[in-house]
Amino acid sequence: MNSKPKTTVTFYNGLTTIGGPMIEVAYGKSHVLFDLGEVYRPELGLSMEDEDFETLLKYQLIGDVPNFYDPQITGKPIDTKRWEHSAAYISHLHLDHSKALNLLAPEIPLYAGPITAHLLPVLNQDGNFLLPAANKPKNYTRPIISAELNKPIQVGDITLTIVPSDHDAYGATGLIVKTPDKTIVHTGDIRLHGYHPDWVHNFMKAGHRCDMLIIEGTGVSWPERVNEENSEEFTGQKNEKELTKTIVQYQKDNPKRQLTFNTYPTNVERILRIISDSPRKVVLHAKRAELLKKALKQDVPYYYLPEDEKIDALDPNLEISYADLLADDHQYFWQVVGHYDQLQEGGLYIHSNAEPLGDFDPAYKPFIENIEKRGIELVTLRCSGHADIAELKEIIAGFEPKILAPVHTLHPELEENPFGERILPKRGETVTLS
Ligand SMILES: [Zn+2]
């Protein structure tokens, strides 16, 4: 006699490290997987060519997830008798949540919010964003279904609802998974100090009293830094709106000075706000302008470096010459992406969560030294994409989960659940909800 199926949650990767969560929810013959990223470990010095399937598993950069990856990559068939309904989801377009999406078997549907679904193929058009798919050109991006937000998607016995959230990746979403007897919430990466705290509050309402809340915990990863954040040396910005204001203020305070900046490509909303609020004319490097054009159909002033190839998608009337930018000290606020040796001495460069991202990247220190050596003042203006300790508490209180499962953090044990149980699953562990 068959007993009634139970909901299980398996934690394949991304637990005690920041990034790369891979989690499966299963019920009966249906199962879903989220997300499909790769853990970021620059210290390994691996190039994209080095990252074959074995290497990814060996360094735990991805999870050893059965029955989801492409058999052409794993050499193992998918057990379609056991699993009649499968689907996958990615919460946002950061690489630690998306880079491995081409490894998913082609016949398994992959869902994401509309912005994530539209931007990823553009980001990967040169083939250096995502891991490659089997037997496809390097710049191939497998189909991503642009899901309608807040509208349930049926995967056999399981229902997925993708909801808008807030993170420093444009278009970030969260996920509500319902099986016939349980509700599981996956926050993705989340914060309350971005442009859309109201969306996060709605997400909390929709997932209120869920059976399990899988929450990211980046913000509790560095308990030793708690006092630092309250000190005067802390250069982080309280929220995204403050950050834009500070950038505008630098322009007002420096009417005759070369002013340049860079941000991270996937924080599209930050760059849109910089463009709309800046007193100076904002000029982007052609590659970044192309991203805005292709993904959002937005035209912005741009420039080419001498070595760049022309991009057909861009309006030639909006091109500003690189020579004009190099000579300018009052008209432009422009995105610099290299050749720091050509900038004016005495200028100001704002590094706003651009690459290299920080101390943990071996490229960071030489980068900073190189700019300062040129006599350019370097200002780092950061705003975290992640909830801090207080915000995490607020988010947990908003959901009031029966079980809390912290992932995506160096210290999952520092997230607590006043509303029920807190579990600390091991890599590869399956939890049965009964
Ligand atoms: Zn992220």
Same domain? For 196 and 281 the reply is: no
Distance from residue 169's CA to the centre of ligand 1 (Å):
6
Q: Write down the pLDDT at residue 228.
A: 62
Whether the pLDDT of residue 382 is over 50: the answer is yes
Give 38-53 pLDDT, tens digit per residue: 999 888 989 888 999 9
Distance from residue 106's CA to the centre of ligand 1 (Å):
24
Distance from residue 190's CA to the centre of ligand 1 (Å):
8
Same domain? For 58 and 183 the reply is: yes
Q: Write down the pLDDT at residue 15.
A: 95
Length in residues, the chain: 434
Same domain? For 26 and 157 the reply is: yes
* DSSP category for residue 22: E
Query: Which of residues 265 and 102 earns the better pLDDT score?
Result: 102
Q: Does residue 145 fall inside a structural domain? A: yes
Distance from residue 220's CA to the centre of ligand 1 (Å):
15
* Residues 303-307, mean pLDDT to the nearest whole number: 97
Count of the separate structural domains present in the chain: 2
At 236 the three-state DSSP class reads strand
Same domain? For 185 and 250 the reply is: no
Distance from residue 62's CA to the centre of ligand 1 (Å):
16
Answer whether 266's CB lies under 8 Å from 94's CB.
yes
Give 75-94 pLDDT, tens digit per residue: 999 999 999 999 999 999 99
Same domain? For 364 and 390 the reply is: no
Say what percent of the chain tops pLDDT 70: 97
Distance from residue 77's CA to the centre of ligand 1 (Å):
31
Among all chains, which residue has been given the structure tokens 């060996």?
Answer: 58
What is the domain-level CATH number for residue 429? Answer: 3.60.15.10
pLDDT band at 233 (very low <50, low <70, confident <90, very high): very low
Distance from residue 217's CA to the centre of ligand 1 (Å):
12
* Residues 296-305, mean pLDDT to the nearest whole number: 96
Distance from residue 173's CA to the centre of ligand 1 (Å):
10
Same domain? For 316 and 180 the reply is: no
Among all chains, which residue has been given the structure tokens 């590094």?
Answer: 351
Q: Does residue 40 fall inside a structural domain? A: yes
* Residues 400-412, mean pLDDT to the nearest whole number: 96
Same domain? For 86 and 160 the reply is: yes
Q: Does residue 1 fall inside a structural domain? A: no
HEC sequence for 381-426: CECCCCCCHHHHHHHHHHHCCCEEEEECCCCHHHCCCCCCEECCCC
Q: Write down the pLDDT at residue 231.
A: 47
Distance from residue 170's CA to the centre of ligand 1 (Å):
10
* Residues 57-85, mean pLDDT to the nearest whole number: 97
Distance from residue 314's CA to the centre of ligand 1 (Å):
28
Distance from residue 96's CA to the centre of ligand 1 (Å):
7
Query: Which of residues 233 and 65 earns the better pLDDT score?
Result: 65
Q: Does residue 242 fall inside a structural domain? A: yes
Q: Does residue 232 fall inside a structural domain? A: no
CA distances from 315 to 71, 111, 295, 301 (A): 43, 32, 15, 9
C-alpha–C-alpha distance, residues 204 and 192, integer Å: 11
C-alpha–C-alpha distance, residues 67 and 387, integer Å: 33
Same domain? For 403 and 291 the reply is: no
One DSSP character per residue, 82-100 reads T-SEEEEE-S-SSHHHHTT
One DSSP character per residue, 303-316 reads E--TTPPP-TTS-G
One DSSP character per residue, 166-222 reads --SSTT-EEEEEE-SS-EEEE--S--SSSS-HHHHHHHHHHTTT-SEEEEE-GGGS-
Distance from residue 137's CA to the centre of ligand 1 (Å):
26
Same domain? For 42 and 14 the reply is: yes
Which amino acid, 172?
Answer: A
Distance from residue 20's CA to the centre of ligand 1 (Å):
9
Same domain? For 184 and 49 the reply is: yes
Whether the pLDDT of residue 195 is over 90: the answer is yes
One DSSP character per residue, 331-381 reads SEEEE--S-GGGSPTT-EEEEESPSS-STTSTTHHHHHHHHHHTT-EEEE-
Distance from residue 19's CA to the centre of ligand 1 (Å):
8
Answer whether 391's CB lies under 8 Å from 192's CB.
yes
Q: Write down the pLDDT at residue 234.
A: 47
C-alpha–C-alpha distance, residues 86 and 78, integer Å: 11
Q: Does residue 417 fall inside a structural domain? A: yes
* Residue where a domain terminates, one of 339, 355, 380: 380
pLDDT band at 225 (very low <50, low <70, confident <90, very high): confident
Q: Write down the pLDDT at residue 48.
A: 85
C-alpha–C-alpha distance, residues 31 and 203, integer Å: 23
Give 151-172 pLDDT, tens digit per residue: 999 999 999 999 999 999 999 9
Say what percent of the chain tops pLDDT 90: 89
Same domain? For 156 and 300 the reply is: no
Cβ-based neighbour number of residue 366 at 10 Å: 10
Distance from residue 427's CA to the centre of ligand 1 (Å):
20
What is the domain-level CATH number for residue 270? Answer: 3.40.50.10710
* Residues 219-243, mean pLDDT to the nearest whole number: 73
Same domain? For 319 and 252 the reply is: yes
Q: Does residue 231 fall inside a structural domain? A: no
Residue range of the domain that includes 210 = 7-222+386-433
Q: Does residue 196 fall inside a structural domain? A: yes
Tokens of 164: 């808008």
* Residues 334-343, mean pLDDT to the nearest whole number: 94
Q: Write down the pLDDT at residue 159.
A: 98
* Residue where a domain terminates, one of 361, 380, 399: 380
Handedness of CA 101, 102, 105, 109 (dihedral sign): positive
